[in-house]
Chains A and B, each alone.
Chain A
């Protein structure tokens, strides 16, 4: 149940409970102290009267005299009752309304300070003591004496005090609940501010950030983490929308070519050779489009991390050797020497691995000048295998390097449509494949050498 309460209510409830416990505790302690104090007062009063009675009884020369003197001594003391009895039970003196003395367990004759007892006389509660006095002039045996004071006054006071304290406590609790709620509500203000800020974030509007400086330290970390998340999302969104517009652009040109070409050919009678020619050209263009679409799908699937159909352990050397054989003819055409050094194990999908490295090789051969050299280094490391494809050629602008792996990115816009050059997806496919294997790709270019490195992790 507590789980469903809002943070504010929770804090308010806890705060109120603490205040309630404190108020009631304090009240109880207070009442106890006052009660003890009243008892002490009663004891002192009774003690005084005891001495007085002892004095009177020891000086009285007859029962009559004693009764009279006791009556005088006690009459002006309101709420004080006394009873004097002989050992035989004959009453020598009794205050009005104090006829019967409750039976006492034992008379503490010897004790100087007898126990304070609580008696009920009718409705009134009395505090009293019992003691014995030896009065040779009046009786042979000691007299049993009981004196008591009415506690009604004190009781009234205590009731009053109890009531006041209760009212105060209840008021304090209510008030503290209210203050607690206000304080919690105020304390939560930064959270609400963050909520409002978050509510204003949408796909179209990714700029708002959490006010890191304006929130308390406890929440600054959270705000920062949220901001980082928003940064990443914004970047991804940016890339996604660039990608969509790139895609539209990439598709627009070939489709418009196809359409124009087809319509021009259809607009007049032509010989069979022309039709054949156009259809063949259309077929080539359409194949390019088809490949682009399947590349895009492949990329999307790989990036979503759902395509590692087969996982097996194989050796990079063998696969790359096969790839070099594949590229041999193209390399020979450009008099490029292909080299392979080292070997290492890869755990992953063999076909995807080939595809990834194939793109690197094709890219390297394309950018190597005639008579150049492409070398593949395979380096087995403790946590995986690193494959570096190195070629000599003109240096690539360092600012361009990280963008090489972007979809549709072409370092040289002029070369955007050569025969059998891909749509600019090759390196991003390589990146997606390597990342699907838990690895990373990097590119460097210095001293006339360009290196693409793919690191595959071994579990």
Chain B
């Protein structure tokens, strides 16, 4: 997957490039709107991440030019400005997402993956599997090593999210938004508590712990190598 980042702040740009490269993406970085547009027109990117305030052309103009020349790849805006009109304008221009600075990298990564996953739904199996953990979407049943685990509806939703996005670190805000539809930062430890309870049901007494906490980032469900 190839991502184009257009960001004039050198530190931000560099860290984004590093972070996304390490997450397995091929990353191009441009520092001005003009360069960004040029790269977008000549590279075959799957996603463009645009800062709004850019020298040369601003982020909106870049996206507008891209759309006018028929490029339909998804786009995401990063901005320090959080005005409703800005948000509306970005989305009207055909942006797929909008992140306000300061944002956490885990959040960005999760959203990038969400966007890239779109349109790739295809034939999804009704049974998700990670190591010896199995989740049956139709029968709403979870088993670990063949043993049935009782989960509440929300825990099931949480489990499904973790399994669908196994190996990805999911930030708390994304979990709150996807599982509970709480689309705002809340100052509670709800996610911690929910994860702790889920973990007790899934990993307690098991030799291999599947759910991991990544401090300062979020949670990840991952089968250790070689399992």
Contact = CB atoms under 8 A, between A and B. Distances in A.
Nearest to A285: B216
B215 A280 contact: yes
B102 A290 contact: yes
A333 interface: yes
A136 to B, nearest CB: 119
A281 B214 CA distance: 11
Interface in B122-160: 152, 154
A172 to B, nearest CB: 67
Contacts of A326: 176, 180, 182, 190
A47 interface: no
Contact of B180 (A322, A351, A359): A322
Contact of A329 (B181, B197, B216, B217): B197
B83 to A, nearest CB: 8
B182 A291 contact: no
* B contact face: mostly helix, strand, loop, or mixed: loop
B186 A287 contact: no
Contacts of B152: 328
Interface string B95-115: 000001011100000000000
A333 B193 contact: yes
Interface residues of B, number: 29
Interface string B172-190: 0000100011111111111
A307 interface: yes
Contacts of A362: 186-188
A420 interface: yes
Given A287-B104, A309-B84, A327-B190, A281 B216 contact: yes
Interface in B162-215: 176, 180-190, 192-194, 197, 215
Nearest to A365: B188
A324 B204 CA distance: 27
B82 interface: yes
Interface string A277-299: 10111111011011101110100
* A contact face: mostly helix, strand, loop, or mixed: helix
Interface in A320-336: 322-323, 325-330, 332-333
Contact of B185 (A283, A291, A307, A309): A291
A337 interface: no
Contact of B100 (A283, A294, A354): A294
A412 interface: no
Contacts of B194: 329
Contacts of B82: 294, 297, 301
Contacts of A359: 186-187
B70 to A, nearest CB: 31
A105 interface: no
Contacts of A421: 187
Given A328-B154, A330-B189, A351 B184 contact: yes
B187 A422 contact: yes
Nearest to B183: A351
Interface of B: 82, 84, 87-88, 100, 102-104, 152, 154, 176, 180-190, 192-194, 197, 215-217
Interchain residue pairs A-B with the least CB separation, the first 10: A283-B216, A422-B187, A280-B215, A290-B102, A420-B189, A280-B216, A329-B194, A326-B180, A362-B188, A329-B193
